[in-house]
Amino acid sequence: METLGEDLLLLAVRPNGKLGAAPKLRFGLSGSELVRLAAARRVDIVRGRIVVLDAAPTGDDLLDAALQSMAGGKRQPAAKAWVARSRPGLVDRYLDRLAAAGVVRAERRQVMGLFPGTRWVVVDTARQAQVRARLDAIASGSVAPGRLDSEQAAFAGLAGAIGLAALLYPGFSGAAARKNLKTAAKRDRSASPAVGAVADAAAATQAATRAADDARDAAMRAATSAAVDASVRAATDAAVAASIDAATQAAISASADAAAHHGGAAGGHH
């Protein structure tokens, strides 16, 4: 879960050094941060809005910046609005982190001999291959949707939302893979681990009431732990759904805005 955003970026680096789906990457990174914060029990999603539970530093500078941007406002931010919010330099900050870790390398160059540009070279090709293999496993349908965890659902859903699925599995031959990723992103929430954890918690609590005094405390602690785990999983599932939905809508809006801009520019030349 900790590398969800970085993994999306590694998938986006094309063999020619360019970033695929570049205009939409920031939505995927924002979505990944929302999911990670929910999994860490720092935020919850309540009726579509982000509720900050703990604004203390996480130890991750990028995640801390995301968390601070959610807190302190007059009103709890809507998950969709937060994911779509403009956060200049977000993609660059993640690329800088990967470069500092020796995973990628930036090669500065001039495009057409005039304009400065950057080519990104993947240095740690083994890590990129592992990330791709994880997505391939989901795209192949080898893992039943009901058995996917929150991280896999977020990974598949965000990759599809920002257009990476179409880049990695193009054309007719990739149709099945793209469909499997979409299915994974919409996995049945009723079959999620959170439901089982809640049931386990309830069972443990009932057992505790029947247990002897010396066993009751231990059983209640187990029930409480299971209930907390269920709460975290439920919050993470909600964040996954909200992030994928928000990233998808933001990416669609960005594409529509770009098309309108180009259309207006073209019309101005006539």
Q: How confident is the model over 98-148, as pLDDT tens digits?
A: 999 999 999 987 666 666 788 999 999 999 999 999 999 999 988 776 778
Round to whole Å and give the CA distance between 42 and 114: 46
Domain count, the chain: 1
**Residue 182 corresponds to which amino acid?**
K
Query: Which of 26-35, 138-147, 247-256 has the weakest average pLDDT?
Result: 247-256
The whole-number pLDDT of residue 14 equals 95
| Residue 201 belongs to a domain | yes
Measured CA distances, 180 to 30, 135, 242 (Å): 23, 10, 19
Q: What is the mean pLDDT of residues 191-199?
A: 31
The whole-number pLDDT of residue 266 equals 47
| Residue 263 belongs to a domain | no
Between residues 172 and 211, the one the model is more confident about: 172
Give the CATH number of the domain where residue 156 resides: 1.10.3630
| Residue 111 belongs to a domain | yes
Round to whole Å and give the CA distance between 214 and 64: 43
| Residue 107 belongs to a domain | yes
- Please report the beta strands in 63-157, taking only residues with DSSP state E, as ranges in sequence order: 104-111, 115-122
The whole-number pLDDT of residue 101 equals 97
| Residue 236 belongs to a domain | yes
Q: Is 118 exposed, middle or buried (0-12, 13-18, 19+ CB in 10 A)?
A: middle
Mean pLDDT over the full length of the chain: 80
Rounded to two decimals, the pTM is 0.77
User: Is residue 214 predicted with pLDDT exceeding 60?
Assistant: no
| Residue 245 belongs to a domain | yes
Output the six-digit token pair for 162. Answer: 């920002």
| Residue 270 belongs to a domain | no
Range of the domain at 251: 4-257
| Residue 262 belongs to a domain | no
Q: pLDDT class for 75, splitting at 50, 70, 90?
A: confident
